[in-house]
Amino acid sequence: MPRGDGRLSHDLDPQRPGPQDACGVFGVWAPGEEVANLTYFGLYALQHRGQEAAGIAVSDGSGVVVYKDLGLVAQVFDEPTLASLRGHVAIGHARYSTTGGSTWENAQPTLRSTTSGTTIALAHNGNLVNTAELQREVTERGVATDGSTNDTSLVTMLLASRPDLSVEAAALEVLPQLRGAFSFVFMDESTLYAARDPHGVRPLVLGRLERGWVVASETAALDIVGASVVREVEPGELIAIDEDGLRSTRFAAPEPKGCLFEYVYIARPDATIAGRNVHSARVQIGRQLAREHPVDADLVIPVPESGTPAAIGYAEESRITYGQGLMKNPYVGRTFIQPSQTLRQLGIRLKLNPLRENVRGKRIVVVDDSIVRGNTQRAIVRMLREAGALEVHVRISSPPVRWPCFYGIDFATRAELLANGLDNDGIRRSIGADTLGYVSLSGLIAATEQPKTRLCRACFDGEYPIELPAGNLIGKHVLEGVGRRVAASAPDAPEHTTSPLVATPSGASVQRP
C-alpha cells in the first residue's frame, strides 16, 4: 500500500473518473551525471501524465536495477533511494494504467533479462491494440511470465526472447509487429533507446545535455533538467545512444497522426508539440470559441487550471472582462483513502469553491476543456447559481467527446459519454447551463497549426487511424482474465515490498533483499 500524501483526490469518486492522462516517460544517457536524480526531476515535470505509479531503472554498466512503487513520484522516491541508484544511463516512468490494472506488478519500468545475460528495462507511453496477439506469441515462444498484465511487459518479453540478437536488432524485429500508440524509452546495461510508433500518436522529444542526451514525453521535462531541445523523435524511428554517439534507424514509414487531445488537455501548457506552444494553441482555441459562440455576459472565468488559457482567449476575443470565479484547492492530488458516500455528495466542492463576491449578480461565461460524463460541469453550474450568478454560459474548448480512446487516454466507455446519447441542447439541459457551446473540430484543428491529416481525432469523430481488433480483444483489462486464473490456482502470495528489482539469467525479475 503506497504512502498517502494527505491531499484530496483528483477523482473524488473512483467509479466516475474524468479523462485520465497518458503516461510520462523519461530517459537519460549521461556519464558523470547523477542520472537517477535527473530522471526524478524529469518525472516530476511529467507527473500530470500519470499519478498511479512511478519507477526508475538505472545501470552502471554491470547490471540494471529498477526501483518502483505505487504512488506519486515524490512518494516513491526519497534522497537515500536516489543515492543508491548509481550509473550513467537511466529511464523513468510515471504511470496511468491503460492496459492492466493499477497494481505494483504493472508499475514500470518493466525488467527482463535474456539467457545471454543482457538486461532490458522498458517504459511505455501509449497503448497497443494487438495485445492479445502479442500474448499469443509470448506463449508460443515459451517465455515465463512475471505476474504483470500490461502490454509493456509483453514487449519487454518479446525483446528478451531473442538472445541471439543485440537489443537494437531485436527491437528492429519486434517494433514492426506492434500496432497502436507507443513512445518507448528502454535500456540495457550500456545503451539508451527510444522509439515512437509510425503514427507518432503520443509525443516524444530528444534533448541534449552538456555531457549527454535526454529523451522525454514533453519538452517541459527537458527544461527542468537543463537540456536543450534537439527535435522530436520521428514516427517510426528507433534511436540508440551509447559511448559511440547517437544512431537513428527507421523501422517503419512515418504516417503522422499526433493526438489532438494533447493540445486540449493532456500536455503541460509550457510544452511544445510539433513546433506549436500548447499554451498559445489553447489561447487561440478560446478566441475561436468566442467567435463561434458569442454571448452577452459580464465575466469570463476558467475552470482551473485546464480551462485557463482558453478562458483568456475567449475574454480577449469577446472583450468581456476576464476574472477568477472558482478557487481550486491547491492540495488537490491523489489520496489512498476511499471517499465515503458523504464525500461523494460533496463532490466537486472539495476541489473548487466559488468566489461569491466576483460572481454574485453577474452573467458568467465559464470555460472548461471538455465534457465527458458531465458531472463536473453540472456541479459547477449549480455552485455558481447558488453563489448568486444570474446566468451561467458554459463554453468548452474541445468538440463533444463521443468516442473512447484506445491509444493511451482512458476516457469513459462510449455508453457513459454524455455527448454520445444527447444532442447539444440535451447536454445543456443535463448540466443546467443557460447556453452551451463547443469549439468546432475545424476550429480546434486550426489552432494547432497542424494539417487535419496529421492528427488523430478519433475521440471526436470516430475515425481511428490505427485499425482496431475485431471482437472484444481490446480494452484496459484484456489480459486480466489470464492473470485472475493464474492467481486463483496459486498459493497466497506475500505483499510486495519496495526493494529494487534485478533481473536473473532465467529472464525473470526478482526483488533484491
Q: Which residues belong to the annotated binding site?
A: 259, 306, 368-369, 405, 456, 459
Contact 407, 126 (CB under 8 A): yes
Q: Which of 89, 4, 96 is nearest to 410 (CA)?
A: 96
CA distances from residue 300 to 285, 306, 325, 358, 438 in whole angstroms, order as listed: 15, 14, 8, 11, 15
325, 384 contact by CB (below 8 A):
yes
What gap in Å lies between CA 295 and CA 277, rounded to an integer?
28
Q: Show the 3-state SS of 280-314.
A: HHHHHHHHHHHHHCCCCCCEEEECCCCCHHHHHHH
Strand 212-216 to 205-209 pairing = antiparallel
Residue 163's H or E segment, with its range, is: none
- Of 108, 64, 68, 67, nearest to 87 by C-alpha is 64
For 118, the grid coordinates are: 543482457
3-state secondary structure of 385: helix
Binding site feature residues for [4Fe-4S] cluster: 259, 405, 456, 459
Residue 260 CA to its chain's centroid (Å): 13
Three-state secondary structure call for residue 357: helix
Q: Give the residue carrying C-alpha cell 500474448.
A: 135
Name the β-bridge partners of 248: 239
The DSSP bridge pattern shows strands 8-9 and 332-333 to be parallel
- Per-residue CA distances from 481 to 132, 134, 136, 475 (Å): 11, 15, 14, 12
CB 335 within 8 A of CB 6: yes
Active site residue 23: yes
Q: Please give the annotated binding residues for Mg(2+), written as ranges.
A: 306, 368-369
Which residue's C-alpha cell is 447551463? 433
Q: Which of 12, 22, 23, 283 is catalytic?
A: 23
The span from the CA of 316 to the CA of 435, in Å, is 20
Residue 193: what are its φ and ψ, rounded to 5°?
-120, 150
DSSP state of 400: -
Residue for cell digits 537519460?
Answer: 28
3-state secondary structure 420-464: HHCCHHHHHHHHCCCEEEECCHHHHHHHHCCCHHHEECHHHHCCC
How far is residue 136 CA from its own chain's centroid? 27
Separation of alpha carbons 459 and 413, rounded Å? 11
Q: Known catalytic residues?
A: 23
